[in-house]
Amino acid sequence: HPIDGLTNLSHSNPDFTVAVALEHLSETGERESIAVAISKIFGGEVYYCEKGFGAFMNNRRIRVSKRQSSDGVVVASEDHNLLIEKMAGKSFSPRSYGCRTLEVAYLAASRFEMALFKKQNYELLKPFLLLAREAGGKVVEEDKCIVISS
């Protein structure tokens, strides 16, 4: 994923990343992420992980938020309608960065509690979900969307 958030970059918004995932092809033909690196150029933040070794930002261990309440959470989503549907009847603060890999990294670093992604172009995002898993997050695939939470 050479540049995620290309629209942000073209509009001089610093919320874009350069992201790389190392995948292993098993004997059954399935691809599995074994290492991920996401670099937010402006701000000097590098998020990385290796399967089974945890998640880090600039050599510091990161973990997802420990917040258990589903009310009043900060939720990142690229689709406002999906956000309203999934969070119906709950209090939440929406965020949208326009860069899916940055949203995964921010979730892993406890900057918010939940992220919702449309299943559209899921194959491009799938390798980077290892970062959220290594930080202690749960990834749930539903009919219309992918939900990442603590």
Q: How far apart are CA 128 and CA 130, in angstroms?
A: 5
Distances from the Cα of 87 to the Cα of 76, 79, 102, 124, angstroms: 12, 12, 22, 25
Q: How far apart are CA 57 and CA 28, in angstroms?
A: 33
Its pTM stands at 0.89
Q: What angle do CA 55, 39, 15 make, to 5 degrees?
A: 115
Q: How far apart are CA 138 and CA 141, in angstroms?
A: 10
Residues in the chain: 150
For residue 70, what pLDDT is reported?
A: 65
Q: What does the pLDDT look like over 104-142, one tens digit per residue? A: 999 999 998 888 988 887 888 899 999 999 999 999 988
- Residue position matching structure tokens 């749960």: 138
